[in-house]
Structure 1
Amino acid sequence: MQTLTKLRPWIAGVVAVVTLGFPVAMMIDGYVLMAQNDPMHPDVLVLIGLLILGLVGLIGVLAYGIHGYRVGWRHLPLRQWILLALYGVAFVVGLCMWLAFVGAIPYQWVYWIIYGGAD
């Protein structure tokens, strides 16, 4: 039982790298294909990557937020604060994209996330 307790920070780190890394890799691939003027709509890869990133961020914020509320915010280790911040940033970026995707906010507000600049 002690070995599981010792491995828990490593497991959390690996899960964070995999769950945040997969959508980021999809987005990077989409950006590279957009730069090469690929006609197969690589911007969809970027959009799907951002939407998955938002879902992963939501799940991570809920998990670490509930845990932080239960144990007390002052008792969270630094690694959990870092993971909470990473998931929080992923959630905010994904939330902006979801709101733009469903038409709740103008798409021009988050245009810079996909294409890297204003009109």
Structure 2
Amino acid sequence: MKYRYKILIQIAVLFFPFWLIIDGFIGLLVGNPFHPDVAIILGLLMTGIICLFNIVAFIIKLNSIGWHNIHFYHKFFFFFYVLLAVPSFIAWAPFL
């Protein structure tokens, strides 16, 4: 695996926001009175910021290298982060 460490870094970066979202949903289902919805919104905010950063980094790389010279790893994670950014931006759209 040429990109094994890069994939592990991507998983490590997204672990905490996903943990916050899952923990918030569990708190809502249990009826936790300590506002678990804030954990969900914070996790979505962090996910959106990470997605935005990675999308911008991909666009910069795309402008410098070109679409045909970019490896499959970068193309896959670009579409992955675009798909992840959609629910994050939908959740934060009412606050804008």
Tell me if TM exceeds 0.5: yes
Q: CA deviation at 1:25?
A: 1.1
The gaps in structure 1 that reach 5 residues or longer are 1-5, 103-119
Match of 1:76 among 70, 75, 78: 70
| DSSP 3-state at the match of 1:63 | helix
Q: Which residue of 2 aligns with 1:17?
A: 11
Q: Which residue of 2 aligns with 1:54?
A: 48
**Alpha-carbon contact 1:23-1:53 (below 8 Å) kept:** yes
Q: CA deviation at 1:77?
A: 1.4
Question: Whose relative contact order is higher, 1 or 2, with alpha carbons under 8 Å and at least 6 apart?
Answer: 2
Whose Rg is larger? 1
The gaps in structure 2 that reach 5 residues or longer are none
Q: Deviations over 1:61-119 (max 9, x none)?
A: 011121122111112111111111111122222222222223xxxxxxxxxxxxxxxxx
Q: Would you say how many aligned residue pairs link Structure 1 and Structure 2?
A: 96
Q: Does 1:65 align with 2:53?
A: no
TM-score (ref. length: structure 1): 0.72
Q: Which residue of 2 aligns with 1:34?
A: 28
Question: RMSD of the TM alignment (CA)?
Answer: 1.7
Q: Distance in 1 between matches of 2:29 and 2:80?
A: 27
Q: Which residue of 2 aligns with 1:109?
A: none
Runs (4+) of structure 1 moved beyond 3 Å? none
